[in-house]
Structure 1
Amino acid sequence: MQPSEMSKERVTYTELKLPYSKKQKNKRHPTPKKREFPWRGVAIILGIICFFLLLAITGLGYMCKGYDPCQEKWFCCGNNCYYFSKEEKTWAESKMSYQDLCSSRTKVYDKQDQEFSADYT
């Protein structure tokens, strides 16, 4: 091409508008938003449940603190309850006395129980 021919040419710009382009689609036919699972609501509900469980556990802890599973006049050592009698009785009288208390006589088998019973006899 010669310089004289270039000056005669015109440049034209245009914008193509296609029927299904993304720009046109959003303007004419807005797509409905996808329905998402309500994670925020579930998280709030679970948080509230955890809070009340924590309160319940704390309350039960205070109620059971110092809880003695043994009856009155009985002493606790580990998982066992002991009743110490200062009355002198024969073997048979002693057996009847413990049967009345719905219990049985015991033998001391380990050092912990021996030290515990020594404190009360």
Structure 2
Amino acid sequence: MGPRPSGSGLRQAADLGLGALVRGFAGPEAIAGMRAAYDAARAARTGERLVSTEINDHFSVLCPTIVLDDRERARVVGLMCLIQMGTVPQEACLETIRQWGEKVIPCFAGAWRSVRVRGSGGP
């Protein structure tokens, strides 16, 4: 998984006027803690260490996902959309693939059609 950003790393990014990109593998509570550290540092920023005239205060999280009908079970299994990684059971992977196909991908069907109409490619 790799190390989570330290509070000091997030504080430094905020102080320099840089956005933050963190991994959300440890779950929502860890993400909330990282966001709180970044926001607190932004609020305390004096502007003396900014690295650009353009400030980027964007906080992004890479959150792999599991899509299951049972929300609580999905949280217990973990957050993954690498579909299979670590200790994610095979049945959760298969259900995730089914859920993506039945519920997630169809939500983007209209957007994909509009891209094809504009001639941007696609099947």
| TM tier, smaller | under 0.3
Could you tell me the TM-score, scaled by structure 2's length?
0.17
